[in-house]
Structure 1
Amino acid sequence: MAIDLTGISVFLAVAERRSFRAAAEHLGVTRPAVSQTIRRLEDRLGVALIQRTTRSVSLTEVGEQLFQRVAPAIAEVGLALDAAADQDSAPSGLLRLAVSSIAERFISGPLLAGFADANPAVQIDVTVTDEEFDIVAEGYDAGVRLGEVIDQDMIAIPVSGEQRQTVVAAPAYIERFGKPSHPSELAQHRCIGWRPAPQTAPYRWEFGEEGREYDVAVDPEITTNDMWLMIRTACAGGGITFGMEETFRPYVSSGQLVPLLEEFCPPFAGFFLYFPNRRNLAPKLRALVDHVKRWR
């Protein structure tokens, strides 16, 4: 039987952490990708390796036996590969990145400044965009986006922890028009919408309630593709708006904006640095991956 090293690596990550979510974060992939890989490995072997419930993850008897025998062997393989890798190639050249405008932690400054300082021979070219496209076809080395929209054939490294979208409004707006108590009441309020590009529909506002996720198509009085115009308009009392909690945090802390409907805004997987699944990473990209891992 041919060895499924990918499946074994994913199995070990789940077995060590007793969590699909923690394994996904460690491997830099999505939780569904971990589940699918484990399922393929179990189907290939014809036995169950992991017991799953809504509250826990445990190994079956066969899974425990496999874990005890395989883990030391894989650790030795990793050491051998590390020793054989060429560590002398200094990162250099142009590193092109396509980054979402709402990836606040990545584009706020310190992360990239620290990377540039540690790698002076690398030229960093960052395009901030929310358009969906093939980063490989467009000549980018990597991108940064929310994990839920990254193709499963990409390698993904966490850049942030869990994120949350939230509804906010200025105190002046709330004083004049009051607060909505449920997302369904947003249709009765002035809303400020955001769209990623001129020819696309305004972003639908996403909520969660009693374990059910749904979205609300508000009818914005003001729509823009500029996040900062949206925020400034909201701070001026122009209406209620919706976006990443991390983006609004400075304005909430200063009292310019007030969070609304928080109980309907559940957390979700955050941002990931993603790139094609290549056998050998260019030193410049490997250096960025290592920097992001240390930064977290």
Structure 2
Amino acid sequence: MRTIHDPFSGLAVFLAVAESGGFTPASAHLGVSPAAISQAVKALEAKLGVALFVRTTRHVRLTEAGTALLSRVKSAATDIAEAVDAAGSAQDEPSGFLRLTVPRMAVPLFVDAVVPALRREHPKIRIEIAVEDAAVDLLGRGFDAGVRIGEYVELDMIGVRLTRDIMWSVVGSPSYLATHGLPQSPEDLAAHENIRYRFPTSGAIYRWEFERNGRSLSVDPPGSLVVNDGALLVSLAASGLGLSYVADIAVETELRAGLLVGVLQPYLPTTPGLFLYFPRRAQNQPKLRALIDIARKVCRV
């Protein structure tokens, strides 16, 4: 009997290791042992005659050949996965694996509200959620959909509104403001301790945006605390360590409880709110349609 040649053998494991950055996280993602992952990668490397990964005791990284292979097969793998999902679209109950990327501010607004409802109504859908504030290449990272502030959603994506527009806020604790006083204009921030945000991807420090007489004003305030996590901007400000520039929807609870106080409101801009976004060609997948329907029902924007 002639042996059947399978050109896809080992590619799923290769993609899992390349995307997760290691054998252990890949094994958790695929539900097999790290030893099985290692064995599958070695078999693929032997079949291709090249090393795909450089392995050390601490890190696993792609070789030049591995990088080239990833760039060729990633988009094809996405197409295949979408084709398989489409083939099952006639079934009554949506199913499959749904990978989502969500910024930290959207956890209480989206994850805590939408995901439980989705699980209750469609238990056959398996969900993985990556919480990260950095900009994300959905297709390149293998995500089905993401949640981001509207102005950061790529133009070639479809967006579904989840929240009202966002008003940006400068907030501080009552104790901090009692000690240092309330700034009356953006220029007054130069005399305050400001908690600044560094973009995880670019490494740039975020400049605080204001409006005056219909014109935009960008300020880079001084501060000895820099973070790359939105939740820390809120918690550190609530601890009295300085002023933070945050979205109002991220501090509603703290403002109501009196843990934080908003300042400089006349100068603060409004921007599009949070959106669920996804590639146009993926919108008819049953698992994604189920997520969209639940999100619209729960968020009611």
- Indicate the TM-score class for this superposition, using the shorter chain for normalisation: 0.5 to 0.7
How far apart, CA to CA, are the structure 2 residues paired with 1:272 and 1:280? 14
- Equivalent pair of 1:180/1:186 in contact (CA under 8 Å): yes
Q: Write out per-residue CA displacement over residues 122-175 of structure 1, whole angstroms, 9 at most, x where no aligned residue.
A: 111111112223101110001111111112111111011111110001111111
Residue of structure 1 equivalent to 2:140: 137
Q: Distance in 1 between matches of 2:105 and 2:128?
A: 18
Offset of residue 227 of structure 1: 3.0
**Residue 254 of structure 2 aligns with which residue?**
251
Name the residue aligned to 1:112: 115
Which amino acid in the other structure matches residue 245 of structure 1?
D
2: CA distance between counterparts of 1:266 and 1:251?
Answer: 20
Query: SS at 1:274's partner residue?
Result: strand
CA distance in 2, matches of 1:267, 1:142: 25
- Residue 148 of structure 1, aligned match among 151, 161, 166: 151
Which runs of no fewer than 5 residues in structure 1 stay unpaired? 1-85
Structure 2 CA distance for partners of 1:274 and 1:98, relative to 1, 3 Å:
same
Contact 1:192/1:240 (<8 A) preserved: yes
Using structure 2 for the length normalisation, give the TM-score. Answer: 0.66
Q: 1:262 to 1:108 in 2, by over 3 A?
A: farther
**Aligned positions of 1:224-239 closer than 5 A:** 224-239=227-242
Within the candidate set 168, 172, 175, 1:169 is matched to: 172
Does residue 127 (structure 1) correspond to residue 138 (structure 2)? The answer is: no
What is the aligned partner in structure 2 of residue 240 from structure 1?
Answer: 243
The C-alpha deviation readout for 1:201-242, integer Å capped at 9, x for no partner, is 222111122222222111221111233333222122111111
Percentage identity across aligned positions? 34
**2:179 corresponds to 1:206:** no
Q: Indicate the SS of the match to 1:206.
A: strand
- Pick the aligned partner of 1:278 from 281, 298, 301: 281
Partner of 1:180: 183
Give the drift of 1:108: 5.1
| 2:292 counterpart of 1:289 | yes
Count the aligned residue pairs. Answer: 211
Q: Any conservation in 1 of the 2:183–2:263 contact (CA below 8 Å)?
A: yes
Which secondary structure does the structure 2 equivalent of 1:275 belong to?
A: strand
Gaps of 5+ in 2: 1-88
Matched to 1:143, the amino acid is G
Deviation at 1:116, TM superposition (A): 1.2
Q: Distance in 2 between matches of 1:279 and 1:99?
A: 18
After superposition, the Cα gap between the structure-2 partners of 1:283 and 1:198, relative to the gap in structure 1 and judged at 3 Å, is: closer
What residue number does 2:226 align with?
223
What is the CA RMSD across the aligned residues, in angstroms?
A: 1.9
Q: How much does 1:88 deviate? A: 4.3
Q: Residue 210 of structure 2 contacts residue 268 of structure 2 at CA under 8 Å; is this kept in 1? A: yes
